[in-house]
Chain A
């Protein structure tokens, strides 16, 4: 039978039982909609998460001293002396050691916790620091009580009715700092440093006032084309040589991104599977509609067989019906899925993106569902004894 007639017959048959067709179509639309919506949401969530971690800088490593249990007091601290040799390594470009202390701003009856981070001038470049006004710390500042403040700190000072511009003074941890620069709002840079709530002060000054020689960590920058694992290995090897008792950990955003990527992929698959359950339910709806349609069209099947239709012709006819039903449902489901992800993205403040892969998956799945759930009814129809079909009809 010519393909065009098969399709036309299937469409006529579906249109003949409009209510049942629409119900089955709705079931498939919800199923395909769930699959495309959940897979697309998973994809968008993944790219959003990755974006955040990529902002940390994929050419950076962070080195931390390992907190050791009290019983192992022989362990050494991570100090400035330990890291002097690091920039000479082939896998390391530059280093930016830092110390994090906590402090408190007070005024107008309010108190606000802030970070006081001791850094060297290299931090400006490694952490992509951009200034709203003033300048960043320079080697020439030595250990003088200068501070570069984050945008939130500036806002907090304003709220307390105190000056927050360059040249103003702010007292934290018993030291009166002169503000020499204010950061732009927005944050990129190492995760450990919440920049907008931070006062950056000279490293030497911070260590002296804290009375400790231990660094909180070091940001390391790799030259282009160096793999983080090679750099990590070389850094650890170097540290073992210069300070055998030192225990450290080197983290890479790339490593975190890779882990995150794997996790989010799993998440997307899981969401897809949840949608798949809805789809299977829709598929059974289609099977049910097809079986009902066959039992109503028994006589028609008998007549077609008498006129020379082969079993394969009857089977093809039913499969065409279920596939068209599922394809139409799939198209509606894709629209539904796109609408839902658009809504979710707006709500979550994500950048919405059309996942062509998810749409293609939706359409292909729809056809597959049509063929799979149409197969059993089609076989039933094809196996119908034409004499019985004619007599019962």
Chain B
């Protein structure tokens, strides 16, 4: 599995380096400019995303035209002060909220015009959420929590359980599959939540302050897990954080300032995960 992802990443790299001519007829005969990534190379492409909240007579603009592309295999940190619209941006990327304007392409599909059901379906298949607090369902065991996204695809319980246990093993939780959330520590809960986000093989993992509720050492472990998932399995992830320490561990860092995105090369890790391979 990891191997396949890495191979796919290498093919993309090759196409990016050599263009359509280098790829020849056997890759994909598209009339795309050779040095631009095709939409299938992008997990998310946001163009001129605006968001305005209207409460009674008062309207507030939160996002003023966000442009952001997240290529496959990226580990991106979005930094910003509290209230700058990080969570709004994440809700839009996660198909939980609709932008007031602009285009949002996720997993190769324009999502702005989707119906509520289509968004649910797309959310289930293309997005994996990790929240600040793990948000596990309290009455379900670890594996049942992890299997939930598959349940909403109508998968049979036995098959879903096997996959869930595999995924729990991937995050180092194979010994606690039957535990209820309240029988797990904060770090363990977050690992289960990451397994739940991964199980549906989404195009992208969206993590909103995933270490915000954890102590420094556990936070380190969780970030380590993201980095290894990104490096070994090619998982694409966007980590939203206000913590420069956390951001620095990601391959690429952008800042959300006054409702627009600014690249922050000074914070981006010198060894981007793709290059580490």
Chain A interfacial positions (CB closer than 8 Å to B): 1-2, 4-5, 12-13, 16, 299-300, 303-313, 386-387, 390, 393
Check if B120 is an interface residue, CB within 8 A of chain A. yes
Q: Which of A5, A299, A303, A386 contacts B157 (CB 8 A)?
A: A5
Cα A311 to Cα B119 in complex, Å, equals 11
Chain A residues positioned under 8 Å from B123 (CB to CB): 306-308
Chain B residues positioned under 8 Å from A387 (CB to CB): 91, 96-97
B interface, size bucket: 20 to 34
Stretch from B26-34, B102-110, B148-156, B237-245 forming part of the interface with A: B148-156
Q: A311, B116: Cβ atoms under 8 Å?
A: yes
Q: A307, B152: Cβ atoms under 8 Å?
A: yes
Check if B18 is an interface residue, CB within 8 A of chain A. no
Docked complex: B73-132 residues within 8 A CB-CB of A: 91, 94, 96-97, 116-117, 120-121, 123-125, 129, 131
Cα A17 to Cα B174 in complex, Å, equals 30
Q: Quick one: CB contact mask for B146-169 with A, threshold 8 Å, 1 for yes?
A: 001101111111000000000000
Q: B151, A5: Cβ atoms under 8 Å?
A: yes
Q: Which of A307, A313, A393 contacts B196 (CB 8 A)?
A: A307
Chain A residues positioned under 8 Å from B137 (CB to CB): 300, 303-304
Q: B129, A306: Cβ atoms under 8 Å?
A: yes
Known: A2-B157, A311-B116, A311-B117. A306 touches B151 (CB 8 A): no
Give the shortest distance, in Å, between A117 (CB) and chain B (any CB): 79
Known: A307-B149, A308-B124, A308-B149. A4 touches B116 (CB 8 A): no
Q: Which of B120, B149, B155, B157 contacts A310 (CB 8 A)?
A: B120
Sample (23) of A-B pairs whose CB atoms are under 8 Å apart: A1-B151, A1-B154, A2-B154, A2-B155, A2-B156, A299-B135, A303-B135, A303-B137, A304-B137, A305-B120, A306-B94, A306-B135, A307-B152, A308-B121, A308-B124, A308-B125, A308-B200, A309-B120, A309-B124, A312-B117, A313-B120, A387-B97, A393-B135
Cα A329 to Cα B194 in complex, Å, equals 40
Cα A4 to Cα B155 in complex, Å, equals 11
- Minimal Cβ-Cβ distance residue in A for B128: A307
